[in-house]
Structure 1
Amino acid sequence: MINLSDVTVIKNKIDILKNVDWEVKKGEHWSILGLNGSGKTTLLNVINGYLHPTYGHVEVLGELFGKTYIPDLRKQIGLISASIQQQIKDFESVLSIVLSGKFASIGLWDAVEKTDIEQAQSYIGLLNCEHLQDREYGTLSQGERQRVLIARALMAHPKILILDEPCNGLDIISREELLKIIEELSKSKDCPTLIYVTHHVEEILPCFTHTLLLKNGEVFCQGLSKELLTEITLSNFFERPVAVQIEQNRTWIALKESLIQN
């Protein structure tokens, strides 16, 4: 699904990404964990073809960058991000927003058929947004907007769905409701490969069986989530001693008391 080999991105003589090797296979769901400034956004821009690496090779869905038409490839990649959310007009209805996902457009400019409306309504139902169908985007809460954007992305039947810090700005109840929906989505028959980007360990759901730890533009480590999300690895990763607790098959961390006292 994704294959990066020795990918390096240099800006103003600074390595934003450095020698990144990463492979995502079909059937896997990955989380990308990193603090602010770790290179997560740059990595996503490379995968989506918005940014070309200075060095290295990028292959997505079997297409080698430099030898493929990127705009067509992007139609197979769903992206949920703050930048997409900011482009949508407040007066647009939820149904029209979801329908626009079929055409990968901001705003609905193309004619739709009855089957398109039925498909959009099915995704609206999947994301528990039936009661929002006729509401204007500007009246929605942050959590409701994220669910609508996921439904919109699914309309294009993407093979990869990237969720870029979707819980930012959500209160704990809205966050847990959205995470529950993502977990349920992962169990659906036609679920695309999920890539979940975050800087909060507790958001890594059981469905994300693999995790990439990104630090200062480099791969700190990668592999099975249950093997990486340990006290030793995370303490080394954050360069702070952390305590780890497993609750409902999710990893929760806290700075150790001795560090807080100091």
Structure 2
Amino acid sequence: MMIDMQGVSLKREGRFILNDISWRVEDGQHWALLGLNGSGKTFLLNLINAYTFPTKGKMEVLGLEFGKTYLAERLRKQIGFVSASVQNRIHKEDNAFEVVLSGEYASIGLYDTPTDDVRDKAIGLLKDLGCFDYANRLYETLSSGEKQRVLIARALMADPELLILDEPTNGLDFLAKEQLLESVERIAERENGPAILYVTHHVDEVLPVFENTLLLKEGEVYESGSTSHLLTSDTMSSFFGVPVDISWSHRRPFLWKR
């Protein structure tokens, strides 16, 4: 079991920002997490990464039960996390190769001397994700799409059991966005690859590999289950609170307001 949450709530400043979350992600599953801004997505990810702990309820991530073990460091070595918060912490003087290498040690910045095997692994990931041509460029000089590819390669260095991609296409143009989504799809299709949690508020980013979807609204699970059953015009109209239509093309959903 990758994630097992039973009646989990999170309280901040006297109010519940997550309320009674029950959700299970099994090994080998890939999930999309859909929610508008302010729905509680970031707080949910902070819980999964053990940056914070639930106020109520029972929670296990990768078999580690919250409140019974010191799990923060152990979890972060088993979870690959790509987010704006990670991107903002990358050292300006590091090049793309160094950023990827640092993923082996779950550190921001490279403080260890990588072995030849670690270097070869990083080179392989750079090539797989189309980053090799700019491996020696400073990270801060890369485009938004190039930075995201490097961060995904970094996240994969430690062979994580769970890969979390938090709105990875933000700020990307159409071509860079589609190229990144193609990379995500290839990772999801790998044999013995990580389970993927893809977080977005854009319905069209829900790739065919994300057979399950969690709809999060105002800090609560609106609905979860089979993507094809949830992403319908009726369900999404109710979810967004406005009439919308969903159509499918090449096994991907597209949404527009009526």
2:83 aligns with one of 76, 81, 84:
81
Larger displacement relative to structure 2 (155-164 or 87-96): 87-96
Q: Which runs of 5+ in 2 are unaligned?
A: none
SS at the partner of 2:118?
helix
2:205 aligns with one of 198, 203, 222:
203
Equivalent position of 1:174 in the other structure: 176
Offset, 1:66: 1.1
Equivalent position of 1:64 in the other structure: 65
Q: Quote the Cα distance in structure 2 between the aligned partners of 1:52 and 1:80.
A: 20
Equivalent position of 2:150 in the other structure: 148
1:24 pairs with 2:25: yes
Equivalent position of 2:235 in the other structure: 233
Q: Quote the Cα distance in structure 2 between the aligned partners of 1:190 and 1:99.
A: 21
SS at the partner of 1:56?
strand
Amino acid at match of 1:31: A
1:52 pairs with 2:53: yes
Q: Count the aligned residue pairs.
A: 256
Q: What do the CA deviations read for 1:110-134 (whole angstroms, capped 9, x no partner)?
A: 0111111000011111111110111
- Taking structure 2 as the reference length, what is the TM-score of the superposition? 0.98
Equivalent position of 2:95 in the other structure: 93
Offset, 1:189: 1.6
Equivalent position of 1:12 in the other structure: 13
- Taking structure 1 as the reference length, what is the TM-score of the superposition? 0.96
SS at the partner of 2:88?
helix
SS at the partner of 1:220?
strand
Q: Quote the Cα distance in structure 1 between the aligned partners of 2:205 and 2:162.
A: 19
Q: What do the CA deviations read for 1:210-238 (whole angstroms, capped 9, x no partner)?
A: 00000000000000101100001000000
Paired residues for 1:131-142 under 5 Å:
131-142=133-144
Q: What do the CA deviations read for 1:95-146 (whole angstroms, capped 9, x no partner)?
A: 1110000001111000111111000011111111110111111110000000
Percent identity of paired positions between Structure 1 and Structure 2:
48
Q: Quote the Cα distance in structure 2 between the aligned partners of 1:78 and 1:184.
A: 16
Q: What do the CA deviations read for 1:182-218 (whole angstroms, capped 9, x no partner)?
A: 0111111231000000001001111111000000000
Q: What do the CA deviations read for 1:144-196 (whole angstroms, capped 9, x no partner)?
A: 00000000010011100000000111111111110011011111123100000
Q: Quote the Cα distance in structure 2 between the aligned partners of 1:97 and 1:244.
A: 39
Larger displacement relative to structure 2 (215-224 or 87-96): 87-96
Q: Quote the Cα distance in structure 2 between the aligned partners of 1:186 and 1:73.
A: 20
SS at the partner of 2:248?
strand
